[in-house]
Amino acid sequence: MENLGIISLFLFVLFLLLGTGVWIGLALMGVAWVGMELFTTRPVGDVMLTTVWSASSSWTLAALPMFIWMGEILYRSRLSEDMFRGLAPWMARLPGGLVHTNIVGCTVFAAVSGSSAATLTTVGKMSIPELRKRNYPENMIIGTLAGAATLGLMIPPSLTLIVYGVTINESISKLFFAGIMPGLILALLFMTYVALMSKFSSKWNPEPEPYMSFSQKLANSRFLLPVIILILVVIGSMYAGLATATEAAAFGVIGSLVLAAVQGSLNRRTFTESLMGATRTSAMIALILAGAAFLSLSMGFTGLPRGLADLIAQLELSKFELLMALLVFYIILGMFLDGISSVVLTMAVVEPMIRQAGIDLIWFGIFIVVVVEMAQITPPIGFNLFVLQGMTDHEMTFIARAALPMFFIMVLMVFILIAVPEIATWLPDNIRQTGR
């Protein structure tokens, strides 16, 4: 009962602050301040300053703004147009046709971005008008784009995985490798759904693409070379053990600047816009992380995380039952908070439960990212839904219905991960790595 009272107090203060429009990071600090004042005699100001500085000065965290900047630079380049021209000839003959360019394009861009929103806007600004022009079903265009864009949270370099790794002090490189195979399998599930819908949907009547010879397809593939080279530089340097995640991020920024310069899209304005965009996003995430670190310390003084872990142990839930409870919990939480906030807000309580249950923390990072992906397309706060509404002028209800099949595919992916955990653990267990 004591734990229930502490949880109720913290939630009341948190929602009170959020309801008044306070930034999430500052709201977390406010809740932590209340906890420190009530449950400890230590000077709160000194503790807060020390905790915020420690959370903000992590070398591992340096990868975050660089990966964000890389995505901002590429978003302002001609990458989306080149990707569509390179992918379309190969996708046209598949069951489902050019709708697959949404999924494959998002998968490719996710490997150089790390952001769901950047992936969505970059791929969508080119694919939506092209697919509409060819008379593909509108709900499939919108739904596949909403779902596939979430791969930016899974396939490295993933901002959510960086935040998760920093929060629980796990290797970022291991988490990146863990996300590769689940991300590709999820993309394959999306493509399978598109292929089935193309065979059984009565609304599927796109205009056929003109025939292209194999040599013509190869010639168009040259447009994919720059992004493939960038992926090899970023992911390949970590895979080969030549660079940490932070060093690979630096390579990625240099590579994206070179790519933008070669394409002729790098000038003073785009450089400044990309730098300021990355600064705003990085500052927001850093503030949330600092607030979460202070809240974790405050909750430690209450004994709440350990108390809840002991309570879960007494309930004698199996691993599967615990994961199902967390699945429902994060889906509900994702209706009101963005993914990164959901992760940092809950890890102080959830991590002891996971350790107590003997669940691999690397595997759980992938589990939680899949569930956070669902939050991106879940009303009322699903961020991808808002981005698509701005891009297409559709009603939110139409976009949410179009994305619903993608939500169920992600639920299926959760059960696949539970049934075959090696999907997430094999690569990080078998690849030589350098540092964090």
- d(CA 353, CA 417) in angstroms, rounded, equals 19
Nearest alpha carbon to residue 148 among 363, 376, 416 = 376
- d(CA 208, CA 151) in angstroms, rounded, equals 28
Summarised one tens digit per residue, pLDDT across range 261-293 is 888 888 888 899 888 988 887 887 778 778 877
Residue type, 423: I
Q: What is the pTM of this model?
A: 0.79
Residue type, 96: G
- Tracing tokens 């004698």 back to the chain, one arrives at 316
**Residue 19 buriedness (CB in 10 A; 0-12 / 13-18 / 19+):** exposed
Residue type, 306: R
Summarised one tens digit per residue, pLDDT across range 352-361 is 888 878 889 9
- d(CA 144, CA 106) in angstroms, rounded, equals 10
- d(CA 435, CA 174) in angstroms, rounded, equals 10
Contact 388, 373 (CB under 8 A): no
DSSP, residue by residue, 382-416: -HHHHHHHHHH---HHHHHHHHHHHHHHHHHHHHH
Query: Which residues neighbour 296 within 8 Å (Cβ) at sequence distance 6 or greater?
Result: 347, 348
Domain positions in the chain are 25-430
Helix (H, G, I), strand (E, B) or coil at 210: coil
Output the pLDDT for position 311.
Answer: 66
Residuewise pLDDT in 10s, the chain (436 residues): 556 677 677 778 877 887 787 777 788 788 888 888 887 777 778 778 887 787 777 776 777 788 888 878 877 777 767 777 888 888 878 888 888 888 988 888 887 776 777 778 778 877 888 888 888 888 899 999 988 888 877 888 787 888 888 888 888 888 988 998 999 999 999 999 999 998 887 778 787 777 778 788 888 888 888 888 888 888 788 777 788 778 888 888 888 888 888 888 888 888 998 889 888 878 877 787 788 778 777 777 776 666 666 666 677 778 888 899 888 888 877 776 667 777 877 787 788 888 878 889 999 999 998 988 887 787 766 777 877 887 787 888 888 899 899 999 999 999 999 999 999 999 888 775 544 5
- d(CA 321, CA 302) in angstroms, rounded, equals 27
Distances (CA, A) of 62 to 33, 172, 246, 250: 27, 11, 6, 9
Q: DSSP label at 155?
A: S
